[in-house]
Amino acid sequence: MSRAERKIDHIRHALSHSKSERSYFDDIDIVHQSLTAQNWEDLQLKTNVGELNLSSPLFVNAMTGGGGKKTEEINQSLAEAAKRTGIGMAVGSQMSAIKNKEERSTYEVVRKANPDGVIFANVGSEATLDQAKEAVDMIEANALQIHLNTLQELIMPEGDRDFRMRLKHIEAIVQGLHVPVIIKEVGYGVSKETANQLYDLGVRHIDVGGSGGTNFSKVENLRRNDPMISFENWGIPTPVSIVEVSKQVPDVHVIASGGIRNGLDGVKSLLLGADAFGMAGSLLKVMIEEGQEALVSKIEHIHREIKMAMMLLDIDHVKDFNGKPHVIRGDMKNWIDQR
């Protein structure tokens, strides 16, 4: 199997693996309010994550990377949908394109398709400061995501096993890069302990990338002869991780992702303290199975859901979701009470 074929295989597994039956977002009820005084036309979706200005709190999170015509087409179409709906987009890991220049076009199409859009570059924590700069320059990125995916690497037979340089690299990149740096998980969540360590390194933006959606333990197990089934439920659920980071490390800008199914899950993330939310697998699935028009419709639907919640909670800016009355119960409450 070629590298490009392996990438497509990866996408297929990511979209087909069985999602968890329950969502911790269902343990949160927003308290209904009856007396709104808003006008739909005046509701503003624009917001910011620190110095990053966004026209919507929703963005397409990091996905396809690597070479090949197919991944390039997918990236182009995702970028066009992001442009048409005015939302941000992160590209998939650029590490392979940093090592192999022929793969650059997979990423460059994203900037070409959306010259004025908000685009995030993406590298692994093995990247040096020079490599991080190269990733940003490649697509004139507005910010850089550095992904942490230790468990995914451990489940991959060919994955990394030596993480000694990780903290040094993160610190050098945070200090030396001219755009905001977002540290992001890929579906296992960020704990308050990790967030505090990152804070001490100078990190001010964290994408919690919690569990509940795309599950890389399951995805990588599909490619192993001896699957590590025992690790398939490992990870901090996304809404729990949002609370851990936003309540315990107040100076960090929190981005929510991992298993956000719809606009209301996104709204719950904002209410718990996130500034924005990313969706990956579920958007890619719509794009691949139903096409770009369907993806644009889905994004517009999510925007309408957010506006409905704004109307119901009597706010006209998404920032004002933060702390709105809500009730937390069940397993989500157990997590919070014990932490």
Which residue positions form the known binding site for substrate? 6-7, 152
Q: What is the dihedral of CA 9, 14, 16, 17, to 10 degrees?
A: 120
Length of the chain: 339
From 17, 133, 169, 184, residue interacting with ligand FNR (rule: CB under 6 A): 184
Is 186 a binding residue for ligand FNR by CB under 6 A? The answer is: yes
Tell me how far apart the terminal alpha carbons of the chain are, to the nearest angstrom: 45
Of 97 and 249, the one with the shorter C-beta distance to ligand FNR is 97
C-alpha dist (Å) from residue 197 to 91, 171, 183, 194, 203: 26, 11, 12, 5, 9
Structure tokens at 125: 């924590």
Of 256 and 315, the one with the shorter C-beta distance to ligand FNR is 256
* Max intra-chain CA distance, the chain: 60
Report the alpha-carbon angle 270-84-321, nearest 5.
15
Distance CA 261, CA 212 (A): 10
Per-residue x/- marks for ligand FNR, 254-293, CB under 6 A?
---xxxx------------------xxxx-x---------
Of 154 and 311, the one with the shorter C-beta distance to ligand FNR is 154
Minimum CB distance to ligand FNR, residue 31 (Å): 26
Per-residue x/- marks for ligand FNR, 76-115, CB under 6 A?
----------------xx----------------------
Contact 155, 224 (CB under 8 A): yes
Of 152 and 246, the one with the shorter C-beta distance to ligand FNR is 152
Per-residue x/- marks for ligand FNR, 198-217, CB under 6 A?
-----------x---xx---
Number of H helices and number of E strands within the chain? Answer: 14, 12
Of 10 and 204, the one with the shorter C-beta distance to ligand FNR is 10
Of 23 and 313, the one with the shorter C-beta distance to ligand FNR is 23
Q: Measured at CB, which residue is nearest to ligand FNR? A: 213
Would you give the DSSP letter of residue 180? -
Per-residue x/- marks for ligand FNR, 33-72, CB under 6 A?
----------------------------xxx-x-------
H/E stretch holding 119 reads: strand 119-124
Annotated binding-site residues for Mg(2+) read 153
Would you give the DSSP letter of residue 190? -
Residues numbered 114-173 forming contacts with ligand FNR, rule: CB under 6 A:
122, 145, 147
> CA nearest 241: which of 332, 308, 175?
332
Of 61 and 106, the one with the shorter C-beta distance to ligand FNR is 61
Q: 91's torsion region: left (phi>0), alpha (psi -120 to 50) or beta? A: beta
Residues numbered 286-325 forming contacts with ligand FNR, rule: CB under 6 A:
none
User: What is the contact surface with ligand FNR in residues (CB under 6 A)?
Assistant: 11, 14, 61-63, 65, 92-93, 122, 145, 147, 184, 186-187, 209, 213-214, 257-260, 279-282, 284
